Structure 1
Amino acid sequence: MGCLVLQDGSVLRGRPFGAAGATAAGEVVFQTGMVGYPEALTDPSYKAQILVLTYPLVGNYGVPRDETDPFGL
């Protein structure tokens, strides 16, 4: 079980995914767009932030495998 602890002391529990055993801290920011989530997930401007994608159908068109940005991401 993982948890997100907010500055006001609120604790939100959920199932973590990604790097096993990793701990993260950062500012929570939101991306509300209907499209463009692959770009948001690889955007270096989100460094040290926890990115929340709010559109309910995120992931429906997949993520391109063979494209890389100028940073190699």
Structure 2
Amino acid sequence: MSAPIHWQKSTFSGAQGEDCVEIAEHANTILIRESETPSAVITTDRDKLAAFIQGVKAGEFDHFLD
């Protein structure tokens, strides 16, 4: 039996907890999903996630918010 997956969301997602992106780690794989479609999960690894987060922090994806 595999360990349960503990999903985490950002505290910036709002009080209702809907319409947010959630992230978890399971078997050395990073899992990402949207709370409104929990069955659609994408996977990545720590290095790729770290590169993405660095890009977010640097503002590389800010144009998607316009």
TM-score normalised to the size of structure 2? 0.30
TM-score normalised to the size of structure 1? 0.29
User: Which one has a larger percent helix, Structure 1 or Structure 2?
Assistant: 2
Higher relative contact order (CA 8 A, sep 6+): 1
User: Which one has a larger percent strand, Structure 1 or Structure 2?
Assistant: 2
The structure number with the bigger radius of gyration is 1
